[in-house]
Amino acid sequence: MAPFPVIQLTDPATIPETIVSPRRAPLLRLARPHQWAKSVFVLLGPAYAWADPEGKPVPWLAVLGAVVAFSLASSACYIVNDIQDRESDRLHPRKGRRPIASGQVSVPTARAFAGALVVGAALGIVLAIWAGGGREAGLWLAVAVGVYILNTVWYSMSLKHIVILDVISLALGFVLRVLGGVAAAGVTPSSWLLNCVFFLAMFLAFGKRLGERRTVRDAAGVRAVQQAYTDDLLRMAVVVTGVATLITYAGYVQAHGERYTWGFNLLWLTMLPATYALLRCIVLLERGEFDDPTELATADRPFQLAALIFAAVTLVVVGVGRSPAAGGRDSVGQMPDGLVPGTIVPQSGLIEVGESTIIGTLYLARRGWSPAPSAVTFLRSGAAGLEPRSSL
């Protein structure tokens, strides 16, 4: 296989202004506020919990406190990383312009600023508690933020030099954002959500390493772990984690289809922009047009359009799913597993399905409930049970 062509990023026009603009205050640039966009992962769990018509109200102000906590904590961790990498950053055409590497901010000043940001993150946790999350939610949020900081600092000190573990550590940071968000909202995340985020984060991390090998002449000089990676290994890892992300999300779409089915599973429509965006990211990394998927997301218009379409379709479908007049339908003449004629359903009182099996089925699907196989019994036994599906 032919080696990748190397593209040296020396033209300032190819570097996002949010990174290098001299007009911005050095301390603000040091905090990397454009990276706060990653805190959107904090909102994922609460957003899907809001989509559940049977779920409790989401304390959005508490979730905002979690967003603030992770945004400021991440900025503090970026500063620690920049202090550690200041020598190698000077060799990078883009990272060499960072405030510490370029000498605009001294190391003592950077350390003090990082401490102030950690205090700000703590205040975000206090906001989450005060806004309705409660002490227990605040405790779990504090644990998530604390583990995030420890994991990120550990990454900066040693894990970034260990092949594969470097990527797993970065992916864990995204998963912890999700856990912090659901802690603030007081909901339980599903395995679908955690797995999808984990694989997506690994895709982003492997993609960044692949992009560096395409755009930086001495990638190992910029990131030592690149010595352990090869072009083919990173290519394979990007494809594998990308496919795993899509398959996991497809599984989520299928598992939650009954809530959003109207003629067909409307949530499936989100697969189209999700697939396009992820594959376009791979194409642009292969071309060497970007060395970081995160920067690609802030600069590539087709990718941004796909993301907006994904968000818009999701909101519309979720709105339909929340509507009392909407709901899933089983195939005509078919009954869900475990639901038989004569079942008694204790939902808002007793509902005898009897011969009106399909009516009972529609009612259950619209309400987002499914029979618990061990609890559903016949009419003569006078007992039945339901369990709510996971809302995330």
Q: Tell me, what's the pLDDT at 325?
A: 52
Residues 172 and 216 in one domain: no
194 part of a folded domain? no
Residues 178 and 231 in one domain: no
Residues 298 and 210 in one domain: yes
Residues 12 and 161 in one domain: yes
Of the candidates 109, 113, 85, the one whose C-alpha atom is nearest the C-alpha of residue 98 is 85
Residues 382 and 233 in one domain: no
Q: Tell me, what's the pLDDT at 267?
A: 92
Residues 315 and 261 in one domain: yes
pTM of the predicted model as reported, rounded to 2 decimal places: 0.72
Q: Tell me, what's the pLDDT at 166?
A: 92
Q: Tell me, what's the pLDDT at 24?
A: 57
pLDDT of the chain, 392 residues: tens digit per residue: 444 444 444 343 344 434 444 445 888 888 888 889 889 999 998 988 887 767 678 889 999 999 999 999 999 999 998 888 887 777 777 777 888 888 888 889 999 999 999 999 999 999 999 887 678 888 999 999 999 999 999 998 889 889 999 999 999 999 999 999 999 998 888 899 999 999 999 999 998 888 888 777 666 666 778 788 888 999 999 999 999 999 999 999 998 878 888 889 999 999 999 999 999 998 888 887 877 777 788 788 999 999 999 999 998 888 776 665 554 444 333 444 454 444 444 444 334 444 333 334 333 433 444 444 433 333 333 333 333 333 45
Residues 303 and 251 in one domain: yes
337 part of a folded domain? no
Provide the residue range defining the domain that includes 251.
Answer: 202-328
Q: Tell me, what's the pLDDT at 143?
A: 95
Residues 180 and 97 in one domain: yes
Residue matched to tokens 């102030």 = 116
165 part of a folded domain? yes
Which of these three, 328, 352, 378, is where a domain ends? 328
Looking at the 3D structure of the chain, how many domains does it have?
3
Which of these three, 298, 328, 358, is where a domain ends? 328
Residues 27 and 170 in one domain: yes
The CATH number of the domain holding residue 43 is 1.10.357.140
Residues 150 and 274 in one domain: no
**366, two tokens:** 């619209």
**249, two tokens:** 């999300």
Residues 185 and 210 in one domain: no
197 part of a folded domain? no
Residues 95 and 10 in one domain: yes
Provide the phi-psi class of 370: left if phi over 0, else alpha when psi is between -120 and 50, else beta. Answer: beta
